[in-house]
Amino acid sequence: MPTKYSYLLYFVLLFITGFLMSCSEETEPQKAKLLLISIDGFHPDYLDRYETSNLDQLVETGVLADFMIPVFPTKTFPNHYSIVTGLYPENSGLIANNMYDAEMDAFYSLGNREAVRNAQWYEGEPIWVTAEKQGLKTAPMFWPGSEAPIGGEFPTYSYPYDDDLPYTARVDSVIHWMTMEPELSPGFMTLYFSKVDTYGHRYGPESDSTAAAVREVDEQIGYLMSELERTDLLNDLNIIIVSDHGMADVSDERVILLDQLIDHETVEVIDWNPVAMIRPNEGISAEIYESLKANEENFRVYKKEDLPNRLHFKKHDRVPEIILIADLGYSITTSGRLEQYGVTGGAHGYDNRYPEMHSFFLAAGPSFRQGITTEGFQNIHLYELMAHLLDLEPSPNDGRLGSLIHILEPQFK
């Protein structure tokens, strides 16, 4: 028979256990959320060249890479998609901003809403799909690929691309997502800013307009940080800021006129510049290649199978038979287009070996070491890092967590 005292002991023990459990719940560190920000076309040199006081402040408290190495071609969609999948373009399927797929008999381009939303174009598994499949809500705002149901999964919060959405409204979305009820709040979010790329194209990487665009985006980073501080959310969020590629000066004195090299009516040029993806008409592939090879000046021409392995590009079916890659600063065009539009400003897409094409990486938050710099690394390693930060089992990919684990605080390794 239990005595009066044993009941008392039972309740005392229950109370102590409950008290200890509530303590351990309080001290259990809440998993930080992750915000991935892309500043399109932001070259790492911009940090020194232009006014970036807010980014500079983050550098002091976080991890800055000397540079990041983009995938080839150094274009927007291939790089954004490689960052979130950890796959080289030959494995991700996003081999260019403009593509043709023979099996689908369909074309892809950034402005083609139907194509952009068609999951058949996207291979591999973006981090938001990995997250959703493992029960974590996501809000990728304007990340290339995020409008398509890749692997059958839409992000919980999905947004159609809107270049006109003011930058402050984008930043406000982060605070909104972060302060939603815990069951609704996304653990992975993205932001995207296009302006630095836009002005880099129009006026070149070294121009007052590009400087002003950099300042504007930097101010938005400052606004984000002050909002996170005001709402006491700084310790709940890891932030990774990247760019997709750099930018190089172009000029009408550095042009490759395709119509003077081949009869370009006999080929289909799927993507033009600075990497021309050429589909010759039936039976004339060797002839077209020979004509280009005979005049190989200021560019390199390759048969698909001869493309250097280091570009991790040639294996995909969407890569056409002949690829012409302009040397840095050269533009591939035609005499007619040169006359009509000229060539000014900046461009990207060139070989990822050129330092001018390098991209940007900066990370800060509770999981990252503070005030360190790290050497350049390939952007395909970010998927593994993000999966690790979010405690997710990564899908097979080309990256390695080991390449970046040293930038994390020891308790987050």
Residue 261 or 337: which CB sits closer to ligand AMP? Answer: 337
By the 8 A CB rule, do 127 and 145 touch? no
The least CB distance from residue 243 to Zn ion, in Å, is 8
| Residue 75 sits in the site that holds ligand AMP (CB under 6 A) | yes
Nearer to Zn ion, 248 or 319 (CB): 248
**Bridge partners, residue 193, by sequence:** 39
**Per-residue string for binding with ligand AMP, 142-161, x by CB under 6 A?**
x-x----------------x
Which of Zn ion, ligand AMP, none binds 249 (CB below 5-8 Å, type-dependent)?
Answer: none
- Please give the distance of CA 66 from its chain centroid, rounded to a whole number: 17
The DSSP secondary structure of 211-227, one letter per residue, reads HHHHHHHHHHHHHHHHH
Kindly state the smallest distance separating residue 77's Cβ from ligand AMP, in Å: 7
Contact 100, 107 (CB under 8 A): yes
Give min distance, CB of 142 to Zn ion, in A. Answer: 12
**Which residue, 272 or 289, is less far from ligand AMP as judged by CB?**
272
Residue 244 touching Zn ion (CB under 5 A)? yes
Distance CA 111, CA 114 (A): 9
In the list 33, 35, 40, 381, the residue contacting ligand AMP (rule: CB under 6 A) is: 40
Instruction: Report the candidate in 133, 82, 174, 54 with the shortest Cα–Cα distance to residue 394.
Output: 133
Catalytic residue among 52, 74, 76, 156: 76
Contact 401, 98 (CB under 8 A): no
Q: How many residues bind Zn ion (CB under 5 A)?
A: 5
- In this structure, are residues 266 and 284 in contact, taking their beta carbons and an 8 Å threshold? yes
Q: Out of Zn ion, ligand AMP, none, which partner does residue 198 contact, by CB within 5 to 8 A per kind?
A: ligand AMP
Q: Where are the beta strands (DSSP E) in 9-147?
A: 33-39, 63-65, 68-69, 99-101, 106-108, 138-140
Question: Is residue 110 part of the contact set for ligand AMP (CB under 6 A)?
Answer: yes
Residues in the chain: 413
Which residues, 161 to 190, sit near ligand AMP by CB under 6 A? 161, 163
> For 167, left (φ over 0), alpha (ψ -120 to 50), or beta?
alpha
In the complex, residue closest to ligand AMP by CB: 76
Closest CA relative to residue 140, chosen from 179, 63, 192: 192
Phi, psi of 361 (to 5 degrees): -145, 130
For 399, phi and psi rounded to 5 degrees? -95, 175
CA distance 312 to 315: 7
Near ligand AMP by CB under 6 A: residue from 173, 198, 209, 298: 198
Q: Which does 116 bind (CB under 5 to 8 A by kind): Zn ion, ligand AMP, none?
A: ligand AMP
DSSP 8-state symbol, 31: P
DSSP state of 286: H
Q: How many CB atoms lie within 10 A of CB 182?
A: 6
Contact between 76 and ligand AMP per CB under 6 A: yes
Mark whether 156 is an active-site residue.
Answer: no
From 179-187, 191-199, 226-234, 391-399, span contacting ligand AMP (CB under 6 A):
191-199
CA dist 220 and 222 (Å) reads 5
- Between 97 and 295, CB nearer to Zn ion: 97
Cβ nearer to Zn ion, comparing 7 with 341: 341
- Nearest distance from residue 116's CB to Zn ion, in Å? 15
| Residue numbers 319-358 binding Zn ion by CB under 5 A | none
Residue nearer to ligand AMP on the CB measure, 240 or 364: 240
- What's the min distance (Å) between Cβ of 298 and ligand AMP? 21
- Nearest 5°: the CA angle 404, 356, 270 is 100
The binding track of 377-396 with respect to ligand AMP, each residue x by CB under 6 A or -, is: --------------------
Q: Which residue has the tokens 């996003």?
A: 94
User: Of 285 and 331, which CB lies nearer to ligand AMP in the complex structure?
Assistant: 331
Site track 66-85 with Zn ion (rule: CB under 5 A), x = hit: ----------x---------
The entry of Zn ion, ligand AMP, none that residue 274 binds, CB within 5 to 8 Å by partner kind? none
CB count within 10 Å of CB 198 equals 16
Other residues' Cβ atoms within 10 Å of the Cβ of residue 110: 14
What amino acid positions are annotated as catalytic residues? 76
- Give the binding site for Zn ion (CB under 5 A): 40-41, 76, 197, 244
- Give the binding site for ligand AMP (CB under 6 A): 40, 75-76, 97, 110, 116, 142, 144, 161, 163, 194, 197-198
